[in-house]
Chain A
Amino acid sequence: MTRPGLPAPARVALLAVAVVAVQLATQASGRGFYLTQLTMTGYYALVVLGLSLLMGYAGQISLGQAGFFAIGGYAAAFLSTIDVSAQRALPAFALATRMGLLVARPDLYGGTTLGVNPWAGLVLGVGLASGVAFAVGVPVLRLRGHYLAMATLAFGTIVSAVAVGTQRLGAADGISGVPPFPILPGVRIGGGSADRVANYYLAWGLVALAMLLLGNLVRSRTGRALRAIHGAEDAARAMGVDAARMKVRVFVLAAAMAAAAGVLLTHYVGGIGPSEASVMKSVRYVAMVAVGGMGSLWGALSAAAVLEFLSLRGVFGAHDDAVFGGILVLVMLFAPDGILSFRARGIVEKLRGRPARPGEGT
């Protein structure tokens, strides 16, 4: 699993260099507008990394990851767009305003609205998704194989149906007009072109941070325990690994990452719609993990970066879903360990009926 080669901090440093190089390249070539899609790609990559940990290391499939993303995104959108200025005189709301939980901002008509502070939205969104993941994960992660796949699929579909069916969440239109999120002094997460470069570095900085932390996690005792569960759960349990608790923890972590990405991306693009919660989105995340190779965080990151960027640029056009479906089938048929593991010669030899030499093919 842990491939020999560069040590982890060096890889993250290499990632940082690549991130800077891409930004300079877009600037030099006058394609600064690419940064918008690249920023979104970074946030989606966070979802994929969480799922990679769950699928590749813990060996548990989730077809509901878009549901967690949507819980975060909708929480942020709902909380930051409600207007409680009519209740501002009530003691509880006055206290909340003084504590900074509620913030006033000017509306389109010259008045002011009183909405929830985006920081509170971030905490609540991620907290809600983690809580839901825990409540769903404890019973559902006892299931295996097909049952787990269907249970998580059912969960994702419920979130999507609730999003489409609830008027307060904008039903089929979703929620728009989400204000920017002033996350650091001078950096606002939002779509304004003045903030474009800062947002790009913020998103990819988070990705680099996630790589560093997850990299440490998978090399730790916990990571070894997870791989043991993936390999043979019964054997891992016999060795004293608390498999049930481990699986739930990773499930919650993956959900929290998806929700955080949902919150930030929603502020960045200024809204969220029910398509973000759709099952097809969840399937796409699974496809990216599969392409990168189960159990390879760097593979998953590369796959997410390339596929999501191409998809957001509209390269696949109207065949977007078909492309991801085709990728899923092809990768799972010919290179179930990810395209980095693909060896054309191994396949050829297999077709000829000769066994592939050790270390070649799959």
Chain B
Amino acid sequence: MTLDLALQYLVAGLTYGAIYVVVAIGFNIVYSATGIINFAQGEFVMLGGMIAVQASRSMPLPAAIALAVAAAAAVGALVEVAFLRWLRKPTVLRMVVITIGVSILLREGALFLWGEGVRSLPYFTGDEVSSVGILGARISPQVFWVLGTVALIVGALEWFYRRTLLGWEMQACAANKDAASLCGVPVRRLVTLSFAMAAAIGALAGAVVSPITYTSYAAGGPLAIKGFTVAILGGLGNSGGAVAAGLALGVVESFAVSVLPAAYKDVVTLSLLLAVLVVRPSGLFASGEAARLKEF
């Protein structure tokens, strides 16, 4: 494999990996606040892409993306309020099944609204054929939009959790709900907010990546599984770990496609997921001690 070809695979892998990072962080945000794995997380990425494509027909691109993000955040909050908020001490089994049901409803809703067709936004700068040459590899400018957006999302979240009062409150809520509640933290509202935030960042990523990967009503499911793999690899709730694991998984997949039939790309990821779940469910970076304290 020549250097420029390797670089080409690397960049493609990083682009996909960046999206997995965002989905994984979405899982982490909700998991930290509620202890729930929201199986509908991938659907928010799909919704972001689909709504932005729809809106971009009647308004400028930035406004369409903003609308898509806001709409997805509203859907995310609605899911929490309508389906999860009022359950008293639900079992994990029950919550898993409910979020799976919600993901099916969102997917079928998208199918009903937009049909089976594959859609995408136009390239933000340039078009399908324009590219930037780096060390002999040809890279689409949209790749820089994707990587930049994901970096922005990760940075903004870091700032939010470290520097803002609301971020501190959410961390308190994640650490101990009862104690946080006693200190006057509005736990219920923050849980709703966590769903809205997870949906919003998923939707933003979905809109930005759609010129490269395209989107369709069924795009959410595979993304959710990949994102979950990354979240587990990085350690649930550990967003720094998710960034490393997501980019690594994207690159591994990208190179796997160069030697295996493309249909087996997902098999590689999923086997990795199974192996990690079995051998090291606390993730590659977390200490086993900390993981044992968490509730699965």
A contact residues vs B (CB 8 Å cutoff): 55, 59, 61, 63, 136, 139-140, 142-147, 149-151, 153-155, 157-158, 161-162, 164-166, 171, 279-280, 283, 286-287, 290, 319, 321-322, 324-329, 332-333, 336
Contacts and interface: CB of A to CB of B under 8 A. Distances in A.
Given A143-B296, A157-B225, A325-B102, 19 more contacts: A143-B278, A144-B92, A147-B277, A150-B232, A150-B277, A154-B274, A158-B266, A158-B270, A158-B271, A161-B263, A162-B267, A164-B263, A321-B108, A322-B109, A324-B104, A325-B107, A328-B98, A328-B100, A332-B98
A132 to B, nearest CB: 12
Given A61-B96, A150-B228, A165-B261, A329 B274 contact: no
Interface in B93-116: 93-94, 96-98, 100-105, 107-109, 112
Contacts of A155: 270, 274
Q: How large is the interface on B (under 10, 10 to 19, 20 to 34, 35 or more residues)?
A: 35 or more
Contact of A145 (B92, B98, B221): B92
A153 B108 CA distance: 20
Given A140-B277, A283-B100, A329 B105 contact: yes
Contacts of B264: 161-162, 165
Contacts of A142: 278
B235 interface: no
A65 to B, nearest CB: 14
A250 B264 CA distance: 30
Contact of B98 (A63, A324, A329): A329
Contacts of A136: 274
Nearest to A149: B96
B37 interface: yes
A283 B94 contact: no
23 contacts: A136-B274, A139-B278, A143-B278, A145-B296, A147-B296, A149-B37, A150-B37, A154-B270, A157-B225, A158-B271, A161-B263, A171-B263, A319-B108, A321-B107, A324-B104, A325-B104, A325-B108, A328-B101, A328-B104, A329-B101, A332-B101, A333-B83, A336-B91
B273 A150 contact: yes
Given A145-B296, A325-B108, A328-B97, A151 B261 contact: no
Contacts of B250: none
A157 B266 contact: yes
B271 A322 contact: no
A273 B273 CA distance: 26
Contact of B96 (A146, A157, A280, A321): A146
Contact of B281 (A143, A154, A319): A143
B273 A154 contact: yes
Contact of B225 (A153, A283, A332, A333): A153
A13 B94 CA distance: 34
B104 A283 contact: yes
A155 B278 CA distance: 13
B97 A286 contact: yes
The 4 A-B residue pairs with the shortest CB-CB distance in the complex, in nearest-first order? A165-B263, A325-B104, A328-B101, A329-B101
Interface of B: 37, 83, 87, 90-94, 96-98, 100-105, 107-109, 112, 221, 225, 228-229, 232, 261, 263-264, 266-267, 270-271, 273-274, 277-278, 281, 296
A146 B296 contact: yes
A70 to B, nearest CB: 14
B225 A161 contact: no
A329 B271 contact: no
A328 to B, nearest CB: 3
B108 A322 contact: yes
Nearest to A284: B104
A161 B274 contact: no
Among B107, B228, B270, chain A packs the most CB atoms within 10 A around the CB of B270
A142 B281 CA distance: 11
Nearest to A279: B221
Contacts of B266: 157-158, 161
Given A145-B93, A153-B225, A328-B101, A161 B277 contact: no
Contacts of A140: 274, 277-278
A171 B262 CA distance: 13
A147 B101 contact: no
Contacts of A150: 37, 225, 228, 232, 273, 277
Contacts of B103: 325
A59 B92 CA distance: 11
B291 to A, nearest CB: 11
Contacts of A144: 92, 296
B92 A321 contact: no
Contacts of B277: 140, 143, 147, 150-151, 154
Contacts of B274: 136, 140, 151, 154-155, 158
